[in-house]
Structure 1
Amino acid sequence: MIVAAPVASGTFARRVEHKYWLPPGELDATIERLQTFVPIFRYSSCWWASIRTVCLDTPEGQCYRDYLDGLAVRWKVRIRQYGAQGRFGDRCWCEIKMKNRGISSKRRFNSPLSEVCRLVDGGRIAEESIADQGPETLEVFRRIAWLIRSKRLRPKVRIDYERLSFQNGPDDSVRITLDRNLCFMAAGRPQRGSMQGLILELKYNGLAPPWFDELHDYISLHRAHRFSKYARAVGALDSAVLSGALS
Structure 2
Amino acid sequence: MKDQMIFQRYEFKYLLTRSQLRTVLLAAKPHIVPDAYSHSSIRNIYLDTPDFRLIRRSLEKPVYKEKVRLRSYGTAEAGDSVFVELKKKYRSVVYKRRLSMEREQAMACVFGKNPWPDTQIGQELAYAMNFYGDLRPAVFLSYERDAYQGIEDPQLRMTFDSRILYRRQGLSLGAEPWGVPLLGADQVLMELKVAGGLPLWLARVLSSQGIYKTSFSKYGAAYQDKPEQYRGLGRTVRGG
Instruction: Sort the TM-score into its range (normalised by shorter chain).
Output: 0.7 to 0.9
Percentage identity across paired residues of the two chains = 27
Report what 2:69 is aligned to.
78
- CA spacing shift, 1:218–1:101, aligned 2, 3 Å: closer
Once the two structures are TM-superposed, the CA of residue 208 in structure 1 deviates from its matched residue by 1.9
Paired with 1:116 and 1:88, the residues of 2 have a C-alpha distance of 12
Amino acid at match of 1:7: D
Paired with 2:210 and 2:145, the residues of 1 have a C-alpha distance of 19
> 5+ residue gaps in structure 1?
132-137
Report what 1:229 is aligned to.
218
Matched, 1:167 2:110: no
Report what 1:8 is aligned to.
4
Paired with 2:104 and 2:26, the residues of 1 have a C-alpha distance of 40
Q: What SS is found at the alignment partner of 1:178?
A: strand
Once the two structures are TM-superposed, the CA of residue 193 in structure 1 deviates from its matched residue by 1.6
- CA spacing shift, 1:80–1:53, aligned 2, 3 Å: same
Instruction: Map 1:215-226 onto structure 2 (within 5 A).
Output: 215-216=205-206, 219=209, 221-224=211-214, 226=215
CA RMSD of superposed structures (Å): 2.4
Instruction: Map 1:35-184 onto structure 2 (within 5 A).
Output: 35-43=29-37, 47-83=38-74, 87-88=75-76, 90-125=80-115, 127=117, 138-151=119-132, 152-168=134-150, 172-184=154-166
Once the two structures are TM-superposed, the CA of residue 82 in structure 1 deviates from its matched residue by 1.2
Q: Deviations over 1:54-83 (max 9, x none)?
A: 111112211111112111111111111113
Of stretches 160-169 and 98-107 in structure 1, the one that deviates more from structure 2 is 160-169
- CA spacing shift, 1:37–1:118, aligned 2, 3 Å: same
With structure 1 as the length reference, what TM-score do the two structures score? 0.81
Amino acid at match of 1:176: M
Q: What SS is found at the alignment partner of 2:108?
A: helix
Report what 2:238 is aligned to.
none
Paired with 1:36 and 1:88, the residues of 2 have a C-alpha distance of 36
Amino acid at match of 1:8: Q
Q: How many residues align?
A: 222
- The 8 Å contact of residues 192 and 237 in structure 1, kept in 2 or not, is answered as no
Q: What SS is found at the alignment partner of 1:167?
A: strand
> 5+ residue gaps in structure 2?
172-177, 236-240
Q: What SS is found at the alignment partner of 1:118?
A: helix
- The 8 Å contact of residues 98 and 106 in structure 1, kept in 2 or not, is answered as yes
- The 8 Å contact of residues 193 and 236 in structure 1, kept in 2 or not, is answered as no
